[in-house]
Amino acid sequence: GENVEQHPSTLSVQEGDSAVIKCTYSDSASNYFPWYKQELGKRPQLIIDIRSNVGEKKDQRIAVTLNKTAKHFSLHITETQPEDSAVYFCAATLYNNNDMRFGAGTRLTVKP
């Protein structure tokens, strides 16, 4: 089955700097890659997703890139703000299969 690895497990940046979180997946048939943000004690919320027919997607300060050949995808947050502090999870899933696999999470801390 699919295996998703996420790095780093913790990340601390200064406000205004960029943050990058990387994930690798094992099954080349996976074709949907969402990213979730989870604040302490709250539900995970989708922040951006990408499908395998696209190499990059941007939404304001957030972008995701996908390298299908290398089987890795990354989350980029620019101009970080303290409210970006949270745990971020990547995930991967196969088409026609609802068995979504999550990475272990990255705790991002943005220092004011």
- Contact residues toward other proteins (CB under 8 A) are 4, 6, 9, 31-32, 34, 36, 42-46, 49, 51, 89, 93-105
Provide the 3-class DSSP secondary structure of residue 51: strand
Which helix (DSSP H) or strand (DSSP E) does residue 7 occupy?
strand 4-7
Of 51 and 111, which CB lies nearer to other proteins in the complex structure? 51
Shortest distance (Å) from residue 69 CB to other proteins: 20
Contacts of 108 (CB under 8 A, 6+ apart): 10, 11, 12, 13, 19, 21, 77, 80, 84, 85, 86, 87, 88
Give Cα 101 distance to the centre of its chain: 12
Shortest distance (Å) from residue 1 CB to other proteins: 8
Of 42 and 69, which CB lies nearer to other proteins in the complex structure? 42
Of 49 and 76, which CB lies nearer to other proteins in the complex structure? 49
Shortest distance (Å) from residue 44 CB to other proteins: 5
